[in-house]
Structure 1
Amino acid sequence: MSTIFSTLMDRNLFFAQSNRGVRLELWRGYKNHRSSSCAVQVQGEGTCSGTESDSESSDMCFYRVVVICLLGSLVPSLGAFKACGPEKHCVPYEQCNEGLMVDGKFYPDRSRTTLDENCHYMEKCCNILDTLPNTELPGEMMSCPCGGRHDLWYYLRPLGYKQQEAKFGEFPWLVAVYGADAYLCSGALITPLAVITTAHCVQNSDLAKVRLLAGEWDAAVELEPQAHQQRSVVETLVHPNYTQMPLAHNIAILLVDKDQPFQLAPNVQPICLPPPRMMYNYSQCYVSGWQRSDFGGAAILPKRWTLYVLPPDQCRTKLRLSLLGRRHAHNDSLLCAGGDKGDFVCGDVDMTAVPLMCPLSGHDDRFHLAGLLTRTARCDGPQLLGIYTNVKLYRQWIDLKLRERNLDIRHYMV
Structure 2
Amino acid sequence: MARLTGIKIISILCLFLATGQVQGHIEFQSCGGLNSYFCVPRSMCSIQLGFRSLVSGNLGCHSTAVCCPQKSILTRVDIAVPEPVNLSCGRINAKGATFPISDLEYMAQENEFPWMVALLDATYKNYVAGGALIAFHVVISVRGKIDNKNPEQLLVRAGEWDFKVQTEQYPHVDVEVKQIVRHPDFDFNNGANNVALLFLKRSLKADIHINPICLPERPKNFDYSRCIFTGWGKKSFEDYTHMNILKKIELPVVQSSTCQNAINQYLPYKFVLHNSLMCAGGENDKDSCTDDGGSPLACPIQGQPGRYELAGLVNFGLHCGLPGVPGVYVNVANLRQWIEKETAEGPSPDDIQEIPLKPFNTHGWNLNEANKSLAYGNGNGQNEIIGQHYPVNNSPSQPDNADEWVVQEPNQNDAFGDGNAQNNFVNWYPQQNGASAQENNQRDQYSGNSENWDTSTMGYEYN
Q: TM-score of the superposition, structure 2-length normalised?
A: 0.61
**Per-residue CA distance 1:369-401 (angstroms, 9 max, x = gap):** 111111113548433410111111111111111
Residue matched to 1:367: 308
**Per-residue CA distance 1:227-266 (angstroms, 9 max, x = gap):** 1111111111111111212321100011111xx2112111
Indicate the larger mover: 403-412 or 261-270. Answer: 403-412
Residue aligned with 2:342, SS: helix
Indicate the larger mover: 213-222 or 351-360. Answer: 351-360
Q: Does 1:338 align with 2:281?
A: yes
Residue matched to 2:428: none
- Is the contact made by 2:287 and 2:327 (CA closer than 8 Å) also made in structure 1? no
- Is the contact made by 2:263 and 2:325 (CA closer than 8 Å) also made in structure 1? no
Task: Summarize the Cα distance change of 1:320–1:150 in structure 2 as closer, same or farther, 3 Å threshold.
Answer: same
Task: Summarize the Cα distance change of 1:309–1:212 in structure 2 as closer, same or farther, 3 Å threshold.
Answer: same
Q: Does 1:175 align with 2:114?
A: no
- Is the contact made by 2:228 and 2:299 (CA closer than 8 Å) also made in structure 1? yes
Residue matched to 1:261: 203
Distance in 1 of aligned mates of 2:272 and 2:86: 42
Residue matched to 1:197: 141
Q: Which runs of 5+ in 2 are unaligned?
A: 9-22, 31-36, 349-388, 397-463
Residue aligned with 1:132, SS: strand
Task: Summarize the Cα distance change of 1:268–1:131 in structure 2 as closer, same or farther, 3 Å threshold.
Answer: farther
**Per-residue CA distance 1:170-201 (angstroms, 9 max, x = gap):** 22111011113320111011111011100011
Residue aligned with 1:363, SS: coil
Q: Does 1:357 align with 2:302?
A: no
**Per-residue CA distance 1:302-348 (angstroms, 9 max, x = gap):** 1111111122322332232332632x2332011111231327524x3
Distance in 1 of aligned mates of 2:319 and 2:39: 46
- Is the contact made by 2:283 and 2:321 (CA closer than 8 Å) also made in structure 1? no
Identity %: 27
Distance in 1 of aligned mates of 2:284 and 2:308: 23
Q: How many residues align?
A: 323
- Is the contact made by 2:251 and 2:287 (CA closer than 8 Å) also made in structure 1? no
Residue aligned with 1:153, SS: coil
**Per-residue CA distance 1:101-153 (angstroms, 9 max, x = gap):** xxxxxx589999xxx989656336779972537554122xx224211123442
Residue matched to 1:413: 395
Task: Summarize the Cα distance change of 1:84–1:305 in structure 2 as closer, same or farther, 3 Å threshold.
Answer: closer
Give the residue type in structure 1 aligned to 2:257. Answer: D
Residue matched to 1:271: 213
Distance in 1 of aligned mates of 2:63 and 2:200: 33
Distance in 2 of aligned mates of 1:387 and 1:166: 22
- Is the contact made by 2:139 and 2:199 (CA closer than 8 Å) also made in structure 1? yes
Give the residue type in structure 2 aligned to 1:283. Answer: S
Q: Does 1:312 align with 2:256?
A: yes
Q: Does 1:143 align with 2:91?
A: no
Give the residue type in structure 1 aligned to 2:343. Answer: L
Out of 125, 132, 143, the residue aligned to residue 188 of structure 1 is 132
Distance in 1 of aligned mates of 2:208 and 2:86: 7
- Is the contact made by 1:378 and 1:384 (CA closer than 8 Å) also made in structure 2? no
- Is the contact made by 1:192 and 1:262 (CA closer than 8 Å) also made in structure 2? yes
Q: Which runs of 5+ in 1 are unaligned?
A: 1-29, 31-65, 73-77, 100-106
- Is the contact made by 2:343 and 2:391 (CA closer than 8 Å) also made in structure 1? yes
- Is the contact made by 2:232 and 2:292 (CA closer than 8 Å) also made in structure 1? no
Distance in 2 of aligned mates of 1:208 and 1:398: 22
Residue aligned with 1:402, SS: helix
Out of 384, 402, 412, the residue aligned to residue 343 of structure 2 is 402
Give the residue type in structure 1 aligned to 2:149. Answer: S
Task: Summarize the Cα distance change of 1:218–1:313 in structure 2 as closer, same or farther, 3 Å threshold.
Answer: same
Residue aligned with 2:204, SS: coil
- Is the contact made by 1:319 and 1:325 (CA closer than 8 Å) also made in structure 2? no
Distance in 2 of aligned mates of 1:308 and 1:118: 36
Give the residue type in structure 1 aligned to 2:170. Answer: Q
Residue matched to 2:357: none
Q: CA RMSD in A?
A: 3.6
Distance in 2 of aligned mates of 1:366 and 1:186: 20
Q: CA deviation at 1:280?
A: 4.5
**Per-residue CA distance 1:258-317 (angstroms, 9 max, x = gap):** xx21121111111010221356574211111002477868x7101111111122322332
Distance in 1 of aligned mates of 2:229 and 2:53: 32
Give the residue type in structure 2 aligned to 1:265. Answer: D
Kindly report which structure 2 residues correspond to 1:79-90, keeping only aligned pairs within 5 A, or say none.
79-82=24-27
Task: Summarize the Cα distance change of 1:187–1:131 in structure 2 as closer, same or farther, 3 Å threshold.
Answer: farther
Give structure 1 regions of 4+ aligned residues with deviation exceeding 6 angstroms: 108-112, 116-119, 125-129, 293-297
Task: Summarize the Cα distance change of 1:380–1:251 in structure 2 as closer, same or farther, 3 Å threshold.
Answer: closer
Task: Summarize the Cα distance change of 1:162–1:151 in structure 2 as closer, same or farther, 3 Å threshold.
Answer: closer
Task: Summarize the Cα distance change of 1:81–1:379 in structure 2 as closer, same or farther, 3 Å threshold.
Answer: closer
Give the residue type in structure 1 aligned to 2:200. Answer: V
- Is the contact made by 1:152 and 1:169 (CA closer than 8 Å) also made in structure 2? no
- Structure with the higher helix share, 1 or 2: 1
Give the residue type in structure 1 aligned to 2:157. Answer: L
Distance in 1 of aligned mates of 2:240 and 2:209: 22
Task: Summarize the Cα distance change of 1:206–1:352 in structure 2 as closer, same or farther, 3 Å threshold.
Answer: same
- Is the contact made by 1:176 and 1:183 (CA closer than 8 Å) also made in structure 2? yes
Q: Does 1:132 align with 2:74?
A: no
Distance in 1 of aligned mates of 2:200 and 2:224: 31
Q: Does 1:227 align with 2:171?
A: yes
